[in-house]
Amino acid sequence: MTAPNGGVHRQLCCREDTAVALSAIDRRSAAHEPAPAAHEPGTNRARTERDSPCRPWRRDVVAGTMLRVPQTPPQAEPVRWTTFTRLDLRALIEVLQRTATSGDAGAYGHGVEVIVESPTLGRWDRLLARPGHGLDRDRAHIAVTDGRGRCGYPVHIRLYTTHGPAAGRQLDRRSGWATSNTAGQAILMMKARAASDGYDAVELATGTINALADLHGREPAGDWRFRVDRAVVRT
């Protein structure tokens, strides 16, 4: 009897080794893949990570496993400031009035604020700043609308200044306005009796600017600025 052909024998052995290797890779892949979720209504298959529009995965060709890759974070909207002078508040008045009547509840349902900043503070003002100030400008956050897009009185204005929580003591009191120190946060409030008619954006803008200017014996020189903040999160 003649011996079997050596080439044929080696070819059969190679096929068996390949099948064993592929089976091992499939078992490793199954061990790393997540369990299928429940079937979606109206479909005949389970929803898995492969159905995600972000597809936060890739297959390693060598190891045959599922590996997560970091997703690109969403790009934040650029901050756009509008500059103005203390002698011309028309731009600030217009944005306050427009935001108040917009019915906008903000990006997270916590309302919309208009942030007003003083000119850049002088070196002496920064040296005398309360610890933790860390700002080149004093700032006022005017809460124009609430979580339901409504405006009304009193209007709360949070102050972030070189005087810290004691900022309210440095202000010249206007008729119909009040100040408070709530949990270490200086608050300026415009009440309804300060308004001349309806939502008084003129009085609101004037009172806010005067309050920031009152905090310094010598008003910082330069342009003031403001912006609208829709990404408000209130606690």
Q: Report if pTM > 0.75.
A: no
Q: Using the predicted structure, report yes or no on whether residue 25 has a pLDDT greater than 90.
A: no
Mean pLDDT over residues 155-168, rounded? 90
Mean pLDDT over residues 25-32, rounded? 55
User: Higher confidence at residue 92 or residue 4?
Assistant: 92
> Which residue in the block uniquely carries the two structure tokens 């040296």?
127
